[in-house]
Amino acid sequence: QKYGYYHCKACNIRWESAYVWCVQGTNKVYFRQFCRTCQKSYNPYRVEDITCQNCKQTRCTCPVKMRHVDPKRPHRQDLCGRCKGKRLSCDSTFSFKYII
């Protein structure tokens, strides 16, 4: 799971997502995301690891983890190419076996 930056060329809308699924050890994206306005699907134009803002590590031991993601923000299952139309969302801890 990585962090991605998106741009819809049709609507000129930009968004970011912490639900970018890549081939392990690479930035090759498995699933596209859909624009909330025109419903066209896109790969991110930039992908990066989800890092802690304190220590800049992906797997940190900081007592308070400050990630550049908001864990309270709901996952838009209707716009996610991985879990759109599925019973469980890919932000669910145990949903991986049901998605693929």
Give, in order, the Cα–Cα distances in Å from 49 to each of 3, 5, 17, 57. Answer: 6, 12, 12, 9
Q: What is the mean pLDDT of the chain?
A: 78
Is 8 within 8 Å of 28 (Cβ atoms)? no
For the stretch 71-91, pLDDT in tens is 667 777 888 888 877 777 776
- Is the pTM higher than 0.85? The answer reads no
